Amino acid sequence: MTQTRAARVLVTTAAVSTACVLPAFLVGAMAVQLRADLGVSASGTSVAVGAFFAAASLASAPLGRLTERRGATRSLRAAAVIAAACQLGLAGLARSLPVLLAFLAVGGSADALAQPAANLLLARDLPVHRQGLGFAIKQAAIPIATLLSGLAVPAIALTVGWRWAFVASAALAIASITTVPRSPSIGTGLVSRPSRDRSGDMPLPVMVWLALGSRWARRRPARWAPSS
């Protein structure tokens, strides 16, 4: 595997993962502007963000299996396209809470497609000794999205309007498509090729419950503190 291919895999997984999770954090960061413009309550914006992660949880298992069939690179491109369409829809069509919920649910599905696709690309294309770094960079998508969402408030939402923040985020999603390798996975990593034997797969209902639990644990704040 060439150094160029390895670098592109790292850039792709980070860029697409960030672009696909960004809508949820943008809504949270710009909640004040959204509430004033759309006339929704604070609980309404919270439900909207919850719709994103609920859709991502429910869709993660079936879309993960779809990724194995369609391939990592094609799935990453599709996820970025869906994320861009979601954010352009939010920018141009969001006028009420139900529309906001619908587009964020679509965005959550894009994230559910991007995550297993990014994992699969790293597992197949990165050598084993580089996969720790690769998965660490990919997991940095969430803090990067949080940072970009925070910066979008003073830079865009408070100057030209919150809708333009979603336009900029859609542009990022479209730009991330250009980073995806043109050729499919070359199979030099830990997982060389997909297996057609599904006998060892975890049952789909169990996978759905695990996905819901992991998303809930990620979003739920800690309620304990170490004793002194």
Instruction: With respect to residue 217, please indicate whether it lies within any of the assigned structural domains.
Output: no
Single-letter amino acid, residue 76: L
- What band does 163 get if pLDDT is binned at 50, 70 and 90? very high
CA proximity to 31, closest of 19, 54, 48: 48
The whole-angstrom separation of Cα 78 and Cα 168 is 19
User: For the domain that residue 135 is a member of, what is the CATH number?
Assistant: 1.20.1250.20
DSSP 154-219: IIIITTT-HHHHHHHHHHHHHHHHTTS-SS-----SS--S--S--TTSPPHHHHHHHHHHHHHHHH
Instruction: With respect to residue 13, please indicate whether it lies within any of the assigned structural domains.
Output: yes
Instruction: With respect to residue 200, please indicate whether it lies within any of the assigned structural domains.
Output: no
pTM confidence score: 0.80
Please give the pLDDT value at position 183: 73
Domains held by the chain: number:
1
Instruction: With respect to residue 224, please indicate whether it lies within any of the assigned structural domains.
Output: no
Instruction: With respect to residue 209, please indicate whether it lies within any of the assigned structural domains.
Output: no
Q: Is the pLDDT of residue 223 over 50?
A: no
Instruction: With respect to residue 216, please indicate whether it lies within any of the assigned structural domains.
Output: no
Instruction: With respect to residue 26, please indicate whether it lies within any of the assigned structural domains.
Output: yes
Radius of gyration of the chain (CA): 18
The whole-angstrom separation of Cα 86 and Cα 78 is 12
Please give the pLDDT value at position 222: 42
pLDDT (tens digit, 9 = 90+) per residue, 70-98?
Answer: 999 999 999 999 999 999 999 999 999 99
Its domain, for residue 98, covers 3-189
Q: Is the pLDDT of residue 196 over 80?
A: no
Instruction: With respect to residue 195, please indicate whether it lies within any of the assigned structural domains.
Output: no
